[in-house]
Chain A
Amino acid sequence: MSYTIPMGPYHPALEEPYKLDLICEGETVQDAKLHIGFNFRGIEHLAETRNYIQVIALMERVCGICSNIHTLTLCQAMEKLTGQTPPPRAQYIRVVIAELERLHSHVLWAGIAAKLMGFKTMFMTCFELREKVMDILQAISGNRVNYSMNRIGGVNRDIEDPQAILGMIEALEREMVRTVIPIFTTSTTATSRCAGIGVLTHEKAISCGVVGPTARASGLPQDLRRAAPYAAYSEMEFDVPVQQDGDVRARLLVRALEIMESCKILRQALTKLPPGELSTGDAKVVFTTGTATSRVEAPRGEVMYSVSWKESSRNPSRVHVRTPTFANMPAIRWMVKGARLADTPLIQASIDPCYSCTDR
């Protein structure tokens, strides 16, 4: 006889509210239904009532983890509508902030995953490292969550001492290599909780249209930083880690390896930071009528903004946001099918879901 166990909308394993109805037989999950919308704030509609300065601050608040990514994607779309091209220094600074945000997001996720595995020491270690990344972001922007770095035509703040930031990155990388990555990749605790569970097959990953580390852990080598480079990514050398197993361990490995690649990108961007202006200036911003689209590889995968504007209007007529979790979350249903009930908190967390982004 099957029975339904609700998980959420408020549950110790969930960082934000959403609900999974798990249809079980014994301890085995046979199927699952997902319910979202608990954080629905109508941000896309609200954006239509904000001018081109206010809308940047608004969209920064779509997500508390990848706040910078949202303003970066929005500003890139608005730059297409205003014909502005940010100067090279601004493009490099955008890469630095985006990669710091990826580091912060991945380490945060690793900490949460460790907690769900019952690996509390690792949780503490990850959060201590995350603090170091937050310190760097604070040193650059003065903020810890909403960095307010992006504007139409460039960035708001400079990186005045790249060498100091480089030193912090190297210290962070040493700690990652010394503790986090070896423990996550070789320890029995991590392996026994993650290997072979929550499998998303290559074929299912394609049909669900998953993105980011979730896709790369199922053997799909897609990364917009490579496939459709933006900012200064075309000038960076890095690899795209891909795993074939599609299980929780593969998603863990992809993120661990991406941390190292982010450090590699940060070193290049900070070393080669070109001189020059931070933005195209304070001249009046003039929009042309039309729609522009921008896509960025956020820590969880592809973010897409579609922005429509009417000439002489101060407000956008439409802002559509497609976040990575919106694409990844439906795949949880296939990951938990056949899994043990006790593994579902970790499986659902393995896509690094952001409900705030998803609901908007």
Chain B
Amino acid sequence: MTSTMTAVETKPKKTLLETLPQKLGIADPWVDMGGVRWLNPGALSVRDLAKGMNAVQARFVTITAVQLPADQGIRLEYHWDLDGQLLGFPYQLSANSIESIYDLCEAVDWIEREIHEGFAVDFLGREYEPLLLRQGDKLGVNLREEKK
């Protein structure tokens, strides 16, 4: 039997993680909270963030959509993995839309479509096909609002 048993490199890229905010042009420091290293992206666009994460070979994990209370809109939390460290970048949406990063990061395809279907967030610059919803259902409807 031929096989490769690889001891995974466990040493985190500490220097890379420490210098990442500077590389992305973010002044704020990392904040450790609830198992995630959070970084406030400030004015950094999500597309520039995606380019930065691709440059350091981080692995896209997911986007979590959170509906905030009292008409505060929706927050999208972009998660990447850098050598076992989960990184989080929150984006508060002002007009329920944000640029798509699908052309930069293929792995976001399904989660962008799912969030579009469940939270009516418009990811600008891409086309949608139904993912979880079936033919005849209306796309781009906030299901939570519908529930109310």
B1 and A186 contact, CB distance less than 8 A: yes
Among B3, B111, B130, B147, max chain A CB count under 10 A is at: B3
* Cβ < 8 Å to A, chain B residues 38-82: 57, 59-62, 64-67, 77, 79
Asked if A281 is at the interface of the complex by the 8 Å CB criterion, the answer is: no
Q: Scan B79-97; emit 1 where CB is below 8 A from any A CB, else 0.
A: 1000111101000000000
Asked if B26 is at the interface of the complex by the 8 Å CB criterion, the answer is: no
Known A186-B1, A293-B86, A306-B77: A330·B6 in contact at CB below 8 Å: no
A306 and B8 contact, CB distance less than 8 A: no
B106 and A207 contact, CB distance less than 8 A: yes
CB distance from B59 to the nearest CB of A (A): 6
| Bound Cα distance A227, B60 (Å) | 16
Known A80-B34, A239-B6, A241-B5: A330·B109 in contact at CB below 8 Å: yes
CB distance from B108 to the nearest CB of A (A): 8
Known A37-B133, A40-B132, A322-B62: A81·B34 in contact at CB below 8 Å: yes
Known A45-B143, A181-B1: A330·B110 in contact at CB below 8 Å: yes
- Grouping DSSP codes into helix (H, G, I), strand (E, B) and loop, the A interface class, with mixed when no group exceeds half, is mixed
Q: Count residues of chain A with CB under 8 A from any CB of chain B.
A: 49
Which residues of B approach A to under 8 Å, CB–CB?
Answer: 1, 3-10, 33-36, 57, 59-62, 64-67, 77, 79, 83-86, 88, 105-107, 109-111, 129-134, 143-144, 147
The 8 A-B pairs at the shortest CB distance, nearest first, are namely A227-B84, A209-B107, A292-B34, A37-B132, A322-B62, A239-B5, A228-B84, A226-B8
Which residues of A approach B to under 8 Å, CB–CB?
Answer: 33, 35-37, 40, 45, 77, 80-81, 181, 185-186, 206-209, 221-224, 226-228, 239-244, 253, 257, 290-295, 302, 304, 306, 308, 318, 320, 322, 326-327, 329-330, 359
